[in-house]
Amino acid sequence: MDPEDRPASSGDDPTVDGPAGDGSDTDDPFDGDLDVDPDGDDPVGGDPDVDDPADAMPIGESGSGEEDPGLLYRFRHDMNGPLMWLREMLSSVAVVLLIGLILFAVSGVWPPMVAVESPSMEPNMNTGDLVFVTEPGRLAPDVSDNDIGVVTHEAGEENGYRTFGDHGSVVIYQPPGRQASPIIHRAMFHVEEGENWYDRADDRYHNADGCAELRNCPAPHAGFVTLGDNNQQYDQANGLAEPVAAEWVTGVARIRVPYLGYVRLITTGQAEVSDVLGTVVVSSAIGSGGKLESRSGVDEGRTPGVESRTPSVEGRTPGVTSATRAT
């Protein structure tokens, strides 16, 4: 029979023999073990247990399989780069602020530290020292007899109260109208308004022959007579200030840290790095038994082992005022 005359096959036609003619069956390409995902999610012929790679990728991973930690994680853990530098800078600022807040909580004044700018309190306070202060009345000693917690040199001698190498409290005060930095000097004794304090004054620290020749005598108002440990005259005798009223006192010195105040003085242009190096050299010489000299190399006239207030040794610099710079 001619192929063109063969009748069309019906649905129940026998299977077609394989190419080898060996009677083997030829599978239908859409029959057998092939799974078809009814949702269309799996690829044709794919493993039914394997999800789409896009679905299997964890959130936060890139297409390369590496985890993207995020900006916050990188800021906290990066060991190099701009985020590390920013973290370190902010950490340093936070530590400084924390220390400042703790000191403020203790001292009650802001700033709680001042830098000594001049040598008028030497040798008990030196230029470049950083001094921790408290507000008047805070941490007041038992021997204080006033509301601001100041013990005068006069009272300190009677009670044995000493700070910074001598009797009495060292105060920071700012007279009205003074434009310069506050003054840090020792409170010597207290006077009342109108008091003739000539007889109470030590004649080593003034040149007057009576109250009429002594500045601020009689006292124009109640207050403290003050003196720099390295000065030859009372602040009130040389005209630096009238008796220091209680409201002029901004703080009481408690602790000093050598050299740290130079950071403030250098940044404000009041000192040079060479000043710090010179101070360290002089201090090293003193510690090794060398001669005590001033920073300029000029002997200040002190006799080793003799108290600066010994009548035969004045050891003070005329007209020198120890000022402080807030830090």
Quick: pLDDT tens for 234-251. 999 999 999 999 999 999
**Do residues 167 and 294 lie in contact, with contact meaning Cβ atoms separated by under 8 Å?**
no
Mean per-residue pLDDT, 283-288: 50
Q: How far is CA 315 from CA 121, 137, 310, in A?
A: 11, 32, 9
Mean per-residue pLDDT, 193-200: 97
* DSSP-assigned states of every residue in 120-148: TTTTTS-TT-EEEEE-TTTT--TT--STT
Instruction: Give me the pLDDT at residue 287, please.
Output: 53
The answer on pLDDT for 159 being more than 60 is yes
pLDDT tens figures, 22-52: 544 545 544 545 455 555 555 544 454 545 5
DSSP-assigned letter for residue 6: S
Mention every residue, 6+ apart, whose C-beta is less than 8 A from residue 67. 58, 60, 61
pLDDT tens figures, 56-89: 445 444 445 566 778 888 888 888 888 888 888 9
